[in-house]
Amino acid sequence: MQALDLKNGGIYFDGTLGAAGHSYEILKRTSPDGRLVATDLDDEAIEAACGRLKEFEGRFSVYKSNYKNYEQVFKDANIESLDGILLDLGVSSHQLDDVSRGFSYMHAEAPLDMRMDVTQPLTAEYIVNNYSQSELTRILREYGEEKFAPQIAANIVKARTRNAITTGGQLTQIIESSIPAKFRQNGPPARKSFQAIRIAVNGELTGLYECVLGLTRRLKKGGRIAIITFHSLEDRIVKQAFKLLECDCICDKSLPVCVCGKKQEIEIITKKPIVASDREMVVNPRSRSAKLRVAKKII
C-alpha cells in the first residue's frame, strides 16, 4: 500500500482481485472518492470479494476477466488512465487450500484440475494425459526449471499407457519415482512440476511482458505500478519490462546519435525487489518466495 502512494480521488486497478485483501485496503485508504477496477477469473473469489467490498458500494467495479485483457476492461469501465496498478501474480491461498481445485501436490485424492477459471476447457489432467513427451519435457523444464524434466515426462507417458492419470497422488508418485533419492531432500519433489503444469494450464506467462508494458503506459504521470511475483520466471519478465521502460534509448550502441526517439518512461522505485521479513515468513510461510517490484511513471 505504501508503494502505491494512494491518494483520495485516485483511480486504481487490481488485476488479481483474489480475496480482495489488497482491494479492500486501496478503497479504505482512498476514501471517500477513490475508485477501483478489479479483475479475476475465479467465480467463487469474485463472489466472496464483492461481499467483502460491499461497504464501498458505488466505488468499485469487478470484471470476470484476465488482467491481460485490460484494454477491454478499461473500455467497459470508461477509464483512460490510472493512478495506480497492482498485480499479485500466481495462485491464491484459497485456491491452494481448496482440495477440489487440484492445485496442490499435498492432497493425494485431489483431481488434476488446476484451472483458475473453471469454465475453461483445458485442465491439468488433459495436459498430463494428452501432451507429447517432448511438450511435457518443455513445460517442466521451462516453467518449472526442473532438471529431471526428461525423466519425469518419459515416466508420465509410460504410466498413462496403462491407466489415465487423474489424481494429484498418481502424478506425485510418478514424479518422485523419476527423481534420484539424493535429490529428493531439496524440498517436496513434486513442487516444481505441479507449478509448471499449473502455469501451462492457465497461460500465466503468456503475454505477461507485453501486459506490464501496456499497463504501465496507462498510468498518469506520478502514478505507480506494484507487482508481486512468486516465481523466478515471472520476476525476470517484470524486471525486463521495467528495464525497457526505464531506458531512454534503445538504439544500437554503434550509432553516433539516437534515432529511436525512445524516452525514459518510468523511475524504478525498487532497485532490488522487496522481500518478506523473517518475521513475516514465520507467520506466512507462503511469503517466502514473494518479490515486490515498484515503478513510478515520469512522463
- 206-253 pLDDT per residue, tens: 999 999 999 999 999 999 999 999 999 999 999 999 999 999 988 888
- Give the span between the Cα atoms of 282 and 235, in whole angstroms: 23
Residues 6+ apart with CB under 8 A from 101: 95, 110, 113, 114, 115, 118
The reply to whether 66 and 196 lie within a common domain is: no
The reply to whether 109 and 240 lie within a common domain is: no
Q: 74-92: b or e for each residue (b if 16 or more CB lie within 10 Å)? A: beebebeebbbbbbbbbbb
How many percent of the chain have pLDDT more than 70?
100
The CATH number for 119's domain is: 1.10.150.170
Number of domains in the chain: 2
Name the average pLDDT for the chain: 95
Q: Is residue 86 part of a domain?
A: yes
Q: Is residue 4 part of a domain?
A: no
Q: Is residue 47 part of a domain?
A: yes
Instruction: Return phi, psi of residue 63, to 5°.
Output: -120, 135
Given CA atoms 253, 258, 259, 264 in this order, what sign does their dihedral have?
positive
Question: Closest by alpha carbon to 127, among 103, 135, 119?
Answer: 135
Q: Is residue 6 part of a domain?
A: no
The reply to whether 103 and 196 lie within a common domain is: yes
Predicted confidence at residue 251, as pLDDT, reads: 84
Q: Is residue 129 part of a domain?
A: yes
The reply to whether 56 and 182 lie within a common domain is: no
The reply to whether 15 and 80 lie within a common domain is: yes
Helix H segments across the chain?
21-29, 43-52, 70-77, 93-97, 124-130, 133-144, 149-160, 168-178, 191-202, 208-216, 232-246, 278-283
Q: Is residue 221 part of a domain?
A: yes
Residues 90/91/92/95 CA torsion (nearest 10 deg):
170
The CATH number for 213's domain is: 3.40.50.150
Answer yes or no: is pLDDT of 94 > 90. Answer: no
Residue 180 carries which side chain, given as an amino acid letter? P
Please, what is the angle between helix 191-202 and helix 133-144, to 10°? 100
The reply to whether 82 and 209 lie within a common domain is: yes
The reply to whether 77 and 215 lie within a common domain is: yes
- 107-146 pLDDT per residue, tens: 889 999 999 999 999 999 999 999 999 999 999 999 999 9
Q: What's the rounded mean pLDDT across residues 83-95?
A: 92
The reply to whether 106 and 120 lie within a common domain is: yes
The reply to whether 179 and 235 lie within a common domain is: no
Q: Is residue 1 part of a domain?
A: no
Question: Closest by alpha carbon to 293, among 266, 267, 272?
Answer: 272
State the pLDDT confidence band at 261, using cuts at 50, 70 and 90: confident
The reply to whether 85 and 145 lie within a common domain is: no
Q: Is residue 2 part of a domain?
A: no
Determine the structural domain holding residue 273 and report its residue range: 11-90+205-297
Predicted confidence at residue 184, as pLDDT, reads: 83
The reply to whether 244 and 194 lie within a common domain is: no
Q: Give burial (CB, 10 Å; 0-12/13-18/19+) of 67.
A: buried
Domain boundary among 161, 176, 202: 202
Q: What's the rounded mean pLDDT across residues 25-47?
A: 96
The reply to whether 166 and 240 lie within a common domain is: no
Domain boundary among 174, 202, 230: 202
Domain boundary among 145, 171, 202: 202
Question: Closest by alpha carbon to 82, among 221, 260, 241, 235?
Answer: 221
- Give the span between the Cα atoms of 193 and 152, in whole angstroms: 9
Contact, 49 vs 19, CB < 8 A? yes
Long-range contacts of 73-77 (CB under 8 A, 24+ apart): 73/37, 73/39, 74/13, 74/37, 74/218, 77/37
